[in-house]
Amino acid sequence: MKYAFGVLLCSLAGLRGAMPLLAQNDLDQRVAKELDSLVATYKHLHENPELSTQEKESSALVAAELRKIGYDVTDHFGQYDSPGLISYGIVGVLRNGSGPTVYVRTDMDALPIVENTGLPYASHVKVKRADGAEVGVMHACGHDIHMSVFLGTARMLAQLKQQWSGTLVMLGQPAEETVGGAHAMLRAGLFTKFPKPDYVLALHDGSDLPAGKVGWHEGSILAGADSVDIIVRGYGGHGAAPQRAKDPILIASEIVVALQTIVSREMDPQIPTVVTVGSFHAGTKHNIIPDEAHLQLTVRTMTPVQREKVLAAITRITKGIAAAAGVPADRAPIIEVAKDNVPATINNPELTRRVAAALERGLGKENVLPGEPAMASEDFSLYALEDPKPPICMFHLGAADPAKWQAAKETGARLPGPHSAEFAPVPEPTIRTGVKAMTSAVLELLKK
């Protein structure tokens, strides 16, 4: 009986491409065996979230688990800008003969949000911020799902060593939400102190897809984000004597309005761009014209060329309006683009198509869907820019309750997603699918 079943599986194997059904069946069974412990780990992580740069216990758990299953682990890897800040970065290496090197990255940090899911394993963690205020902490971006899938994938690939050849590097990255973690690990020499990557993979969960499904998109998938500060300088004076002043509030107001023409008149309407003025501060009193006005902008772009174009337009418009208002050159606006910008996340097309084909084989075609780019940002993008500039690919992991997802689709009911206090991934199917998906992708890239 067993034999006959095996023959039947093998005879169908050709239909599924490179991963024969027998191997697929083996992976399904192995994941099923680990699922209870992975879900328990998930619930523990969810109940005990840690803010960016404070991932002490989460990273210790990830490191201990990787060591237990045979990875060569380096912990506390990374170098932040601020001296004295410890990095909780983890690098776990599993060498398995000759072949390419694949990095799999998880993030580990949570958000300052008071959880409102009502789940039995909801977080009640509260921490004091630097200013003394108390904030709730919640894994509202699902990085706890990412860690659980990451550990499941690490276990699978350690168990399935006979099916692949090469080097696997499991990367536990801190501080994604505050955009310092990837930079800290790269600055400390990630790609020189550890094997050079041929590919870097990651996934992100969300409620755009139901649990059981994954989505992919080649090219730009997440926007680049820049923070821009503009100080508009005029000459202060009495509010009753505007002729003796140069009013920075009026000039800054004209700048705010004119900046909106960048998206509407200068950029290709087919390529999404966002320019938002999120903060406008000036003045102290009704009858005083202040010396300065301060604007703060967020800029979202999908390519480096587009980014340069938008930043140049901001500078041109800002300086031009100030000059037109008669502000002398030595009082020209000061425009500062923050150094900690995040570039757009661009999925390497060739790698992404290869990963997508592996996902279809691993999960079934019906569970792998084309995804949509979003204007959110990720510091995963940085790994593609560091020498040897490896191809990167991040795919989407459905985490929504399938029934709620269906209802939301049909009736427009609200479905809380990442960064919401009510974001509640369904653990079992999400983790099961994530482990199968990531393992299938790595097996494809490291196949013998």
- Catalog residues that contact Zn ion under the rule CB under 5 A: 141
Q: Packing angle between helix 349-363 and helix 427-445, nearest 10 degrees?
A: 120
Point out the residue whose Cβ comes nearest to Zn ion: 141
CB of 411 to Zn ion, least distance (A): 27
CB of 109 to Zn ion, least distance (A): 9
CB of 420 to Zn ion, least distance (A): 11
DSSP 124-187: --EEE-TTS-EEE-B-TT-HHHHHHHHHHHHHHHHHTGGGB-EEEEEEEE--TTTT-HHHHHHH
**6, containing H or E segment:** helix 2-13
Q: Which is nearer to Zn ion, 256 or 376 (CB)?
A: 376
SS3 at position 37: helix
Q: Which is nearer to Zn ion, 141 or 314 (CB)?
A: 141
SS3 at position 209: strand
Q: Which is nearer to Zn ion, 87 or 106 (CB)?
A: 106
Q: Which is nearer to Zn ion, 73 or 141 (CB)?
A: 141
- DSSP letter (8 states) at residue 387: T
Tell me the two tokens of residue 209.
């897809």
Q: Which is nearer to Zn ion, 400 or 445 (CB)?
A: 400
CB of 413 to Zn ion, least distance (A): 23
**262, containing H or E segment:** none
- How far apart, in whole angstroms, are the C-alpha atoms of residue 274 and residue 289? 31
Q: Which is nearer to Zn ion, 267 or 424 (CB)?
A: 424
CB of 305 to Zn ion, least distance (A): 26
Residue 369 Cα to chain centre, angstroms? 19
Residues in a beta bridge with 368: 214
CB of 143 to Zn ion, least distance (A): 6
Q: Which long-range contacts (CB under 8 A, 24 or more apart) does 7-14 make?
A: none
CB of 100 to Zn ion, least distance (A): 27
- DSSP letter (8 states) at residue 247: -
CB of 141 to Zn ion, least distance (A): 3
Q: Which is nearer to Zn ion, 206 or 390 (CB)?
A: 206
- DSSP letter (8 states) at residue 380: G
Q: Which is nearer to Zn ion, 125 or 141 (CB)?
A: 141
Q: Which is nearer to Zn ion, 141 or 302 (CB)?
A: 141
Residue in 181, 204, 160, 199 with CA at minimum distance from that of residue 90: 181
DSSP 304-357: HHHHHHHHHHHHHHHHHHHHHTT--GGGPPEEEE-TT-B--EEE-HHHHHHHHH
CB of 262 to Zn ion, least distance (A): 26
